[in-house]
Structure 1
Amino acid sequence: MLRPCHPRPHQAGTTHHAANRGRSADRADGPYRRRPGGVLLTSAGTRVRGAGLVSRDSGAQHCPDVRVVLALGAFYQVKLALDGGEPYYAKVSDRERVADVASLRRVLCPSSVAVIGASRRAASVGNAVLRNILDGGYTGVVYAVNRHGGNIRGLTAFRSVTDLPEPPELAVLCVPAEHIAEVAEDCGHRGVRALVVVTAGITGQPAIAEGLVTAVRRWGMRLLGPNCLGVVNSDPAVRLDATFSAAGIPEDGVGIATQSGGVGIALLERLDALGLGVSTLVSTGDKFDVSGNDMLLWWERDDRTRAGGLYLESFGNPRKFSWLARRFSCRKPLIVLRSGASPIAQQAARSHTAAAVTPSSTRDALLRQTGAIGVDDLEELLAVLGLLSWQRLPAGRRVAVVSNAGGLGVLAADACAQAGLEFSVLQRAAPELAALLPDQASLRNPVDTTAAIDAATFGRSVEIVLRDPAADAVVVPVLQTAVSDPAAAVADTVARARADGCDKPVLAVRAGQPETLTSLAAGHARVPVFSDPTLAARALAAVAAYASWLARPRGAVPNLAHIDAVAARDLVATALEQMPEGGWAGPETVQALISSFGLSAVPSRVCTTEDAALAAFRELGGSVVLKVWAEGLLHKARSGGVVLAVATVADLRAGWTRLRARFGTAFRGVVMQPMVEPGREFLVGVLNEPAFGPMVVVGLGGTDTDLFADRSRRLVPLTTRDATEMLHELRAAPQLFGPQADEPLSTDAVVDVLLRTARMAELLPEIAEVDLNPVIVAERGAHIPDARIRLEPREPDDPLIRKLRL
């Protein structure tokens, strides 16, 4: 969003034009700071690209597009601010969405397709792709390209793309890797608008990969792959199956993007078997260009797509994914099949924060923050898709279980409890069930109707429970007996309830069925039937969590007062001048940094001599704490580097002597602070991962940090909703913030610390790690007596700017 930046008044006797100051407009010591993506327009009309500017007087305002005009000796300055917040992201994303959808039409809805490398051998990939396009009923024009010419599947094969009578919109490349760059160049020169590169073995050969990307860039083509299955679009106006899958084109409303071609084939086959299908499917392969982010943009505007499914082995641009997935999830459900995170990818634990962040925790925080439904295997992905396709979203997490076999009902109840679902007390249903069921039936949740009842009575029991307002969903484990098969009545029951306006989800579990998931249908009602109660419970819990995410307010990234980002940038720049390779900032720099973001740091005095410590002690007055300042030491308390309750000069001298003796040559002095009001100790930290960006962590602090792994995580930018949810995700939250809290704590104070710490990490990309431990929280606020910040030289980066991989 464009909005004005308000400059300070021009001061007499000075000029703000960098050229008149005798130094470059890029210089950090001029009135502007360099930021990426801006333009400077001088009085001569010169445009200086790549030198986005931030005025020193603009505070936290981010102004990456600045125009300066000089006329008749007067000075005029106009600033257009593109703040890195929700309005900015929305505008950039809307612009890209229009452009991206237009360019993806060449991949997903081409008017003509050429298969380059089409072979006469039926077992070849090129032959299979051509066969699928023809047999799938593609509505456009198809060309076969084979260097030997001839006839392939009834088509005259052209020897080269340059010999085609017209440039095809899409070319599918099935040629050997060593010819890919040359063929891609020929395609671009001929006027091809998009490529699907099925060929593998390109990424590991830099010369070939660079040649492919160079051709794509030169001719402005979109690229799917390389090393991919291909693309499917089931739209009757297109009917494109440019893959080598044997599954055909099952048509329905699920959009699929997968890095793995094998996962794509499996999903096509399994969805078809369930009576479901895809709107579009793309296999992104090595993701040189088209990615899951692109498909989110496409599906969001595609009315045929009701839900999106992603299998990602890696996040190419996770911060962009975070923004796009959050917006997509507000409109349609998004299911993400999580892949395993390698332990070797975990950064060495250099602080409590780093120890709390692993690749899997980062990924899960990203999904939780965006509302995406994370699943762990194909069966769970299909279970969630089936549940979303055939049932409505639950209003809450309260579940009731109705079964004709007591043991099966108990297993289902255990599975629901382990999945985090809540059990209802069926007060309204109990009297009706008592009048309907035999005396030996169990009327409490889980309800056991006994195996002796007929299907109609069982169906009536399910209907009674379904109408009880205490239940948000009903799980129905059934067992066929010689007396009856109660499963037959479940779909009819759901159909009647739907006709009367009751749309709660119902999931059946039929023990012994060979298929993991099937369905029962009656009229317009369709009920998912699982073979395993655990899978049913996991699917219901995942969908309930999504429904809860939808129902909560979205929150916002707030404008925080008392932030001096310009001063903070100066502090970081000065610190990195002194340690060009990066490292842990000194105590004075850390104190100034957190104070510049409005964080309530406990006043500190850095003392390098005993005399300086005595002077600081007299200045602070009262009881103080001594914290050692030692080379390479991070965890002071654990190493015996903290002396509490220093109340006299004798205490001070004794503490100084003890710390100096303990740390020897590493001893640099002490940091002295006044004792603060006691309270509950928390950890608030940040770890800035190269791919994911800054992640904020909150958990129990002080000595509890090492004893209890009770932490919550989110990626920046952090919204008010994110920060509040982080606190209530802690297992200890009821004892800390609820009505049963041991002592009154200021929830607002902790939320404020989280938001300000996140904003610091967002505005200062050079911050690699933050460790605020402890943050002492009491009823009246929060104080930070100890903080560590690690800096690394980094260039600012805009995660919304799209890039080819190479």
Structure 2
Amino acid sequence: MLTDGSVVTVRAVGPRDLGELERLHSALSAEDRYLRFFGAASDTSVERFLRRLVEPGGAAVLALGAFAGERLVGVGHFEVVVPDVAEVAFLVEHARHARGVATLLLEHLAAAARRRGVRAFVAEVLAENAAMLRVFRDSGLPYEARLDGPSYQVKLSLDAGEPYYAEVSDRERVADTASLRRVLCPSSVAVVGASHRVSAVGHAVLRNLVEGGFTGTVHAVNRRGGEVCGLPASRSVADLPSAPDLAVLCVPAEQVPGVAEDCGRLGVRGLLVISAGITGRPAITDGLVGAVRRWGMRLVGPNSLGVANSDPGVRLDATFSAAGHPAGEVGLATQSGGVAIAVLERLAPLGLGTSTMVSTGDKYDVSGNDMLLWWERDDRTRIGVLYLESFGNPRKFAWLARRFCRRKPLVVLRSGASPVAQQAALSHTAAAVTPSSTREALLRQTGAIGVDDLDELVAVLASLSWQALPDGPRVAVVSNAGGLGVLTADACARAGLEFAALDRSAAELTTLLPDQASARNPVDTTAAVDAGTFGRAVEVVLHDPAVDAVIVPLLRTAVGDPLPGLVEAVTRARAAGCATPVLAVRAGQQESVTSLAVGEHRIPVFTDASLAARALADVTTHARWLARPQGVVPDLAHVDVPAARELVDAALTQLPSGGGWLDPRQVQDLLAAFGLPVVPSTVCTSEEDALAAFRAVSGSAALKVRADGVLHKARAGGVVLGIATVAELRAAWARLAAEFGARFRGAVLQPVVEPGRELLVGVYREAAFGPVVVLGLGGTDAELIADRSRRLVPLTDRDAHDMLHELRAAPHLVGPHADRPVDADAVVDVLLRAARMAELLPGVVEMDLNPVIVTDRGAQVPDARVRVEPREPDDPLIRRLRL
């Protein structure tokens, strides 16, 4: 998408595009021709130049064109001039200047160049060509420009990092929101298939548009004509008086491609396909996708419930929902129309509603990522909600969600985790990675709040809407029923909340409450206190600095009702500036969540203490994520990426076509290229080799078998430690040779490492999510103990720190109570280097550093396995539509 929201196709130009190239260049103004060719280039030289662009140039030359339909509106190309450096140039149709064509081409050229091993672009730009200089300067790539006579010599580094992707994401947001205005804020809508039958979907959509008070123009299209919902119906799209911003297709699946083509030809740029039965039928799917691509339309669906926007200036309800769309501050995007209806029906009784709702359906184009871009700058959206059954581009989602969550909360309703056949696990790392565990790592990394059901979703939305975020995890429970208070305390413990020590409040509570009451947390006021006393007890706890949130389970009894006291207490506390969150629990109420008015404020009231605790824990986790440092992807010293790439490429030429495991020498060299603390090893194919290597070892040595089919050497009995003499080495060699027989292929000899904690650091490339980094307890019992933390790449220093502290064993490894503390910085460094390898070397599909032996003075890697496959580098954040 360009900055104005229009869509172009970016692809390599070839011989069939020569005519369009000639047309583009012949239409140049004199000024544009001068800026492009540094003078009055002859027609012959221009023709020769154009023919070179369309000729196959291998890896050294690439020309990309931006096409609006079949019309070429811009071209960019690079040509390698010296190893790792290519010269780049651009030309854009004058009418398309300042719409981001050159910038978009630069992004795609840079990604393609990186795949070819190019590390930098150079360009010569005339000093008066301010627009082109601005494209380079604002790209986000490291930029140098030196004035040399009448022109600037420009150099761009292609080693993209966080600043570059931030700029790309900002540009995508501008373009994406511009294109989505036709879908979410249309000035006119046409319903194609607006049936006369009241029970038909097309009739329902048109009725909702009309009765919902849409502020724009509504058109009906029905092949029989007549009148539908009080509107005259055109017989076809072609008969419409003008092109609507949004066309809603409610026609049989077989008719969708033809109608989509008619819409594109008329000038429609937003398409909402309600029709189902398209996915899984290639001819229909290809026809729809082809029309959308050809005419540059944005597509919601197919198989969509519709879209809605409650903005008073729009009032769009292009759905067939009967639930209505009450206005509110929740942005909702869901693949399931049924889930959307269920959420809307649950929000309405609470006085909550949506700013925008998009049912993405089969998600051919517009997705949750698009809605994150829209909601991020939409002042009417305060909270985002996503229901995703699949992730189309998880790494882009991770980037966008992390940025979104810094501004607004994001709640993700997890889909059900049905049993999934797991890939054959060839390492401890692979065994530790599952789709559900990766999804949880993704949510944790981005700051999104993951919920498991509609009750929890509504509970979290109520808490976020009506309460401030807690400052920490310390909760106090105040109840007029001791048993209910204890059950609530148990629920808080299960949810991972901490209990506040009421040292400051205890004396005042003891004075205030009867003798049989409990002033300790959970506070039991007893049922005998009146509402005013109960309220004062709540107020005392609210003002205690050791309390971050208060849960108040209460019961109405024949003696009295504590609820008015709670209302008065919270009212006074809010008036005094106390924003500590309050959640109430009233067992027996029919709804899982209701609200209680407290002056100008509201507090959520739950029927179940467990639900209240889960909701509080969810928002507390989000608050903690917000409060922590954001972290950076640091520059790492002693990393030789070219050498590592060369090693992987060389190994792939020697391995079978599908790749395989690197040999120990290659593993050692690869880890060393990324600065990982690998223990020096020598591959020995004979006893004489082992003896020669042993003489170079100071101290004792370890001998590790190399045998066919042996993946975990220690478990197979293939490791001999503490070899101090030649005789012991000979005996160890003989034992391994005898034990493994025909499978024996030699051994690896290395110095014995100082004992320490054994950890596992691994990488596994998950099919949908890309590289996943795993940390856990290591050694032979790595899978048995199963204490793991996971993150996706790119990994920040904060992510790595959190991974270590998430382990259940963390208190025994780091911190004041660790019995044998480890060097936390060394663990973080190993994690960052392993993640960087996975990020920069797509051919590394699996890596097992097990064990990583960590002491209080550093870390060492005595054993590792690396599996490689032939894979093209991919840029998951490059701007492209899903279609």
TM range (shorter): over 0.9
- Identify the residue that residue 734 of structure 2 maps to in structure 1: 657
The corresponding residue for 2:747 is 670
TM-score by length of 2: 0.84
Distance of 1:390 and 1:479 partners within structure 2:
22
CA apart distance, 1:305: 0.4
| Residue matched to 2:60 | 25
The amino acid across from 1:776 in the alignment is I
- Determine helix, strand or coil for the equivalent of 1:777: strand
Q: Could you tell me which of 288, 291, 312 is aligned with 2:367? A: 291
Residue 620 of structure 1 aligns to a residue in which SS?
coil
Indicate the residue corresponding to 1:219 in structure 2.
295
Taking the TM superposition and a 5 Å limit, the aligned residue runs for 1:495-534 are 495-534=571-610
Distance 2:259 2:356 in 1: 27
2:801 partner amino acid: T
TM-score (norm 1): 0.92
What's the counterpart of residue 235 of structure 2?
A: 159
Match of 2:119 among 54, 63, 66: 63
The reply on whether 1:461 has 2:537 as its aligned counterpart is: yes
Query: 1:30 Cα shift?
Result: 10
1:625-673 Cα deviation digits (max 9, x unpaired):
1111122321111111111112222222222222222222322211111
Q: CA deviation at 1:158?
A: 0.7
CA distance in 1, matches of 2:219, 2:684: 79
SS of the counterpart of 2:849? strand
AA aligned opposite 2:60: A
Corresponding position of 1:172: 248
- Shift in CA distance, 24/311, structure 1 to aligned 2, threshold 3 Å: closer
Q: Which amino acid aligns with 1:377?
A: D
Answer yes or no: is the 8 Å Cα contact 2:500–2:546 preserved in 1.
yes
- 1:452 Cα shift? 1.5
User: What is the CA deviation profile of residues 715-736 of structure 1, one whole-angstrom value per residue up to 9, with x for unaligned ones?
Assistant: 1111110011111111111111
Instruction: Work out whether 1:439 is the aligned partner of 2:503.
Output: no
Does 1:416 pair with 2:472? no
Contact 2:114-2:158 at 8 Å conserved across structures: no
Displacement, 1:365?
A: 0.5
Q: Distance in 2 between the 1:55 and 1:85 partners?
A: 16
User: Following TM superposition, by how much is the alpha carbon of 1:600 offset from its aligned partner in structure 2, in angstroms?
Assistant: 1.0
Give the alignment partner of residue 778 of structure 2, picking from 701, 718, 721: 701
Aligned to 1:490: 566
Give the deviation of 1:526 after TM superposition: 0.5
The one-letter amino acid of 1:252's match is G
State the 1:380 CA deviation: 0.4
Q: CA 1:30–1:640 in 2, change beyond 3 Å: closer, same or farther?
A: farther
Which secondary structure does the structure 1 equivalent of 2:696 belong to?
helix
Deviates more, 1:629-638 or 1:506-515: 629-638
- Report the counterpart of residue 138 of structure 1 in structure 2: 214
Counterparts in 2 of 1:67 and 1:627: CA distance versus 1, 3 Å? farther
Give distance in 1, aligned partners of 2:111 and 2:190.
43
From 256, 266, 272, the equivalent of 1:190 is 266
Aligned length: 771
> C-alpha separation between the residues in 2 aligned to 1:23 and 1:766?
22
CA contact (8 A) 1:230 1:283 kept: yes
User: Offset of 1:39 from its aligned partner?
Assistant: 7.0
Which residue identity does 2:267 align to in structure 1?
Answer: G
Q: Work out the percentage of aligned pairs sharing the same amino acid.
A: 70
Secondary structure of residue in 2 paired with 1:428: helix
1:230 to 2:312 alignment: no
Alpha-carbon contact 1:394-1:472 (below 8 Å) kept:
yes
Q: Tell me which amino acid in the other structure corresponds to 1:510.
A: R
How far is the alpha carbon of 1:40 from its aligned partner? Answer: 4.6
3-state DSSP of counterpart to 2:60: coil
Partner of 2:414: 338
Aligned to 2:22: none
Which residue, out of 665, 683, 688, partners 2:760? Answer: 683
Shift in Å, 1:77: 8.2
Residue 685 of structure 2 corresponds to which residue in structure 1?
Answer: 608
1:79 CA displacement: 3.7
The correspondence of residues 638-653 of structure 1 with structure 2, limited to 5 A, is 638-653=715-730
1:549 aligns with 2:625: yes
1:253 aligns with 2:253: no
Q: Distance in 1 between matches of 2:856 and 2:837?
A: 25
The DSSP-based 3-state class of the residue aligned with 2:369 is: helix
Displacement of 1:704 in angstroms is 3.7
Contact 2:535 2:562 in 1 (8 A): yes
1:354 aligns with 2:430: yes
Q: 2:254 and 2:825 mapped to 1: Cα distance?
A: 61
Q: Tell me how far apart the structure 1 counterparts of residues 849 and 292 of structure 2 sit (CA, whole Å).
A: 47
Q: CA–CA distance in 2 between the matches of 1:304 and 1:51?
A: 36
Q: Relative to 1, partners in 2 of residues 1:432 and 1:544: Cα closer, same or farther, differing over 3 Å? A: same
Structure 2 equivalent of residue 379 of structure 1 = 455
Amino acid at match of 2:433: V
Q: Secondary structure at the match of 1:507?
A: strand
SS of aligned partner of 2:503? coil
- What residue number does 1:103 align with? 179
Deviations 1:557-589 (A, max 9, x none): 000011000000001101111122111111111
Q: Deviations over 1:113-153 (max 9, x none)?
A: 00011101111111111111111110000001111111111
Name the CA shift for 1:317/1:55 in 2 (closer, same or farther; >3 Å): closer
Distance across 1 between alignment mates of 2:80 and 2:372: 42
In the TM superposition, what is the alpha-carbon distance from 1:248 to its structure 2 partner? Answer: 1.3
Q: SS at 1:770's partner residue?
A: strand
**Change in CA separation of 1:242 and 1:29 when aligned onto 2, cut-off 3 Å:** closer
Deviations 1:224-272 (A, max 9, x none): 0111111010000000000011111210100000010000001111111
Q: Secondary structure at the match of 1:344?
A: coil
Letter of the structure 2 residue corresponding to residue 684 of structure 1:
V
Q: In the alignment, what sits opposite 1:9?
A: none
Aligned 8 A contact 1:133 1:241 in 2: yes
Q: Residue 7 of structure 1 aligns with which residue?
A: none
Which residue is 1:562 aligned to?
Answer: 638
Structure-2 separation of matches of 1:429 and 1:350: 56
What is the CA-CA distance between 1:49 and the residue it aligns to? 5.7
Q: 1:489 to 1:537 in 2, by over 3 A?
A: same
**CA distance 1:23–1:711, change in 2 (3 Å):** closer
Where in structure 2 are there 5+ consecutive unaligned residues?
A: 1-52, 63-78, 91-104, 126-147
2 CA distance for matches of 1:727 and 1:51?
Answer: 33
Question: Given that residues 118 and 127 in structure 1 are in contact (C-alpha distance below 8 angstroms), is that contact kept between their aligned partners in structure 2?
Answer: yes
Moved more, 333-342 or 364-373: 333-342
Q: 2:837 aligns with which of 730, 740, 760?
A: 760
Q: CA deviation at 1:439?
A: 1.2
Change (3 A) 1:33 1:233: same
Letter in 1 for 2:544: D
Is 1:181 matched up with 2:181?
no
Partner SS for 1:511: coil
Give, as a single letter, the amino acid of the residue that structure 2 aligns with 1:368. R
Q: What is the identity, as a one-letter code, of the residue corresponding to 1:586?
A: D
Q: Verify the 8 A CA contact 2:660 2:869 in the aligned structure 1.
A: yes
Q: Does the Cα contact within 8 Å between 1:39 and 1:49 map onto a contact in 2?
A: no
AA partner of residue 134 (structure 1)? V
Structure 1 residues 741 and 165: CA distance shift in structure 2, 3 A = same
2:555 is aligned with 1:479 = yes
Match of 1:582 in 2: 659
Q: Please, which runs of 5 or more residues in structure 1 have no aligned partner?
A: 1-18
Decide which of 93, 97, 105 is 2:169's aligned counterpart. 93
CA spacing shift, 1:491–1:23, aligned 2, 3 Å: closer
Which residue does 1:281 correspond to in 2?
A: 357
One-letter code aligned to 2:435: P
In structure 2, the CA distance between the partners of 1:23 and 1:259, relative to structure 1 (3 Å rule), is: closer
Check conservation: 1:393, 1:544, Cα contact below 8 A.
yes
AA aligned opposite 1:151: E
